[in-house]
């Protein structure tokens, strides 16, 4: 029986997330990170239309984890008959689990590949999986270099650092970009993701596009660079940077903000180096081009942009669901939850967490597409 109930719910204070953990999330594991940095500011109220009931299983992108904490708690506060369990296992694992028919939707920081769409037709009876962009944001380059609180890097230097070609913080290439910095004679400790990750995929797309001579590997969710050390999830690599002198890694801005990790500015060829901020990420996302067909709303980012203030290491993270053939027992709740997530209130909760809300025209398309899921 379809249960319909319209509630006004005052969203939980973002700062309370750090204390409450995951009331509705049962398997966050090591990716449990405070999204707010303790701001304590209440999010906007959400007008949520509850449909469906029971347990809704989903998994994937750890980049979405801090946003999902807020979305799930707000939605569950309004819709008492629905329990949403989102596990931030990484984009690759989330897509695999979805294609095995084990989850209602998946979170991924990369759009589906053609072979994944083909596989989805076995799960989406009479249809196929589609990409629904839900949020964006900068992939910050976080670092831990004693005495350096203002660091500038460019694509070539970054590629050589992550490929173990530049091994010390006082290397001439870094000095050239930071003539006024007191760079120490300290070994670089580069950390990358051990799990298949959409964040890795987006970083390597940037390195390949902006520094093709220095980054010889094809973009992929699996790390291909030489050397370095690995850790699981965005929380894993950010924790390593926080505690390791000389460390550098890549993760969503929300992890840098919550852990107070300094982030590098990027020399893109614009007049001034560009900082990793939600506003600067939005400038890059606004330059994205449609890449999907039909109801698929995948976007193609411009990683080589030189526009003033546009931060190029930016990801758009998606929810992946069937356009047709969704499981009957979870369809109503899936549509209800994704409608809230893409709503003005759902998107409005993101900026304080270090994410970039979707441009209005994209959010409108997402809501219209969600309404057609069957």
* pTM given for the model: 0.75
User: What is the arithmetic mean of pLDDT over 88-100?
Assistant: 96
At 288 the pLDDT is: 87
At 359 the pLDDT is: 84
Mean pLDDT, the chain, integer: 88
At 243 the pLDDT is: 98
pLDDT at 264 over 70: yes
More reliable by pLDDT, 28 or 372: 372
> CA-to-CA distance for 156 and 149, rounded, in angstroms?
21
pLDDT at 16 over 80: no
Host H or E run for residue 267? strand 265-267
> CA-to-CA distance for 104 and 115, rounded, in angstroms?
20
Q: Is residue 338 within 8 Å of 105, Cβ to Cβ?
A: yes
pLDDT at 373 over 90: yes
Cα 49 to chain centroid, rounded: 26
Q: Which of 266, 243, 239 is nearest to 255 (CA)?
A: 239
The pLDDT-based confidence of 24 (bands split at 50, 70, 90) is very low
Lowest-pLDDT range of 3-12, 42-51, 214-223, 291-300: 3-12
At 40 the pLDDT is: 36
User: What is the arithmetic mean of pLDDT over 229-256?
Assistant: 95
pLDDT at 21 over 70: no
Q: What is the tens place of the pLDDT at every residue in 298-330?
A: 999 999 999 999 999 998 999 999 999 999 999
pLDDT at 369 over 50: yes
Q: Which of 143, 97, 142, 139 is nearest to 120 (CA)?
A: 97
At 350 the pLDDT is: 87
> CA-to-CA distance for 152 and 267, rounded, in angstroms?
7
> CA-to-CA distance for 173 and 45, rounded, in angstroms?
49
pLDDT at 46 over 90: no
> CA-to-CA distance for 65 and 82, rounded, in angstroms?
19
At 48 the pLDDT is: 93
User: What is the arithmetic mean of pLDDT over 151-168?
Assistant: 98
The pLDDT-based confidence of 356 (bands split at 50, 70, 90) is confident
pLDDT at 13 over 80: no
Q: By three-state DSSP, how is residue 129 classified?
A: strand
pLDDT at 28 over 60: no
Q: What is the tens place of the pLDDT at every residue in 269-306?
A: 999 999 999 999 988 988 888 999 999 999 999 999 99
User: What is the arithmetic mean of pLDDT over 116-144?
Assistant: 96
The pLDDT-based confidence of 133 (bands split at 50, 70, 90) is very high
At 38 the pLDDT is: 35
More reliable by pLDDT, 31 or 371: 371
At 140 the pLDDT is: 97
> CA-to-CA distance for 203 and 314, rounded, in angstroms?
8
The pLDDT-based confidence of 36 (bands split at 50, 70, 90) is very low
Lowest-pLDDT range of 40-49, 141-150, 166-175: 40-49
Query: What contacts 328, CB < 8 A, 6 or more positions away?
Result: none
Q: Is residue 18 within 8 Å of 38, Cβ to Cβ?
A: yes
């Amino acid at each position: 029986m379809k249960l319909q109930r319209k509630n006004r719910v005052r969203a939980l204070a973002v700062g309370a997330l750090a204390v409450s953990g995951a009331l509705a999330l049962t398997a966050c594991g090591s990716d449990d990170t405070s999204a707010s940095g303790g701001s304590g500011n209440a999010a906007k109220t959400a007008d949520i239309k509850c449909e469906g009931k029971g347990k809704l299983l989903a998994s994937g992108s750890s980049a979405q984890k801090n946003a999902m904490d807020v979305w799930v708690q707000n939605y569950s506060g309004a819709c008492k008959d629905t329990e949403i369990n989102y596990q931030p296992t990484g984009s690759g694992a989330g897509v695999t689990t979805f294609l095995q028919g084990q989850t209602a939707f998946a979170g991924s920081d990369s759009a589906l590949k053609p072979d994944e769409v083909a596989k989805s037709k076995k799960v989406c009876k009479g249809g196929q999986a589609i990409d629904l962009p839900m949020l964006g944001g900068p992939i910050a380059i976080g670092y831990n270099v004693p005495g350096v609180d203002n660091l500038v890097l460019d694509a070539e230097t970054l590629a050589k650092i992550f490929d173990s070609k530049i091994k010390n913080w006082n290397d001439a290439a870094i000095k050239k970009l930071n003539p006024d910095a007191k760079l120490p004679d300290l070994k670089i400790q580069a950390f990358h993701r051990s799990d298949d990750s959409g964040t890795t995929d987006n970083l390597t797309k940037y390195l390949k596009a902006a520094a093709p001579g220095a980054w010889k590997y094809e973009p992929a969710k699996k790390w291909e660079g030489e050397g370095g050390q690995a850790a699981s999830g965005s929380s894993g690599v950010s924790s390593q940077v926080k505690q390791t002198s000389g460390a550098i890694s890549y993760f969503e801005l929300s992890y840098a903000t919550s852990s107070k990790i300094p982030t590098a500015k990027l020399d893109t060829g614009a007049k001034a180096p560009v900082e990793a901020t939600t506003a600067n990420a939005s400038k890059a996302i606004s330059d994205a081009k449609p890449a999907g067909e039909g109801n698929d709303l995948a976007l193609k980012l411009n990683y080589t942009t030189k526009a003033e203030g546009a931060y190029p290491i930016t990801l758009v993270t998606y929810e992946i669901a069937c356009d047709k053939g969704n499981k009957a027992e979870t369809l109503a709740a899936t549509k209800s939850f994704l409608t809230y997530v893409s709503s003005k209130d759902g998107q409005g909760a993101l900026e304080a967490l270090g994410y970039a809300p979707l441009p209005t025209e994209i959010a409108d398309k997402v809501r219209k597409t969600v309404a057609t899921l069957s």
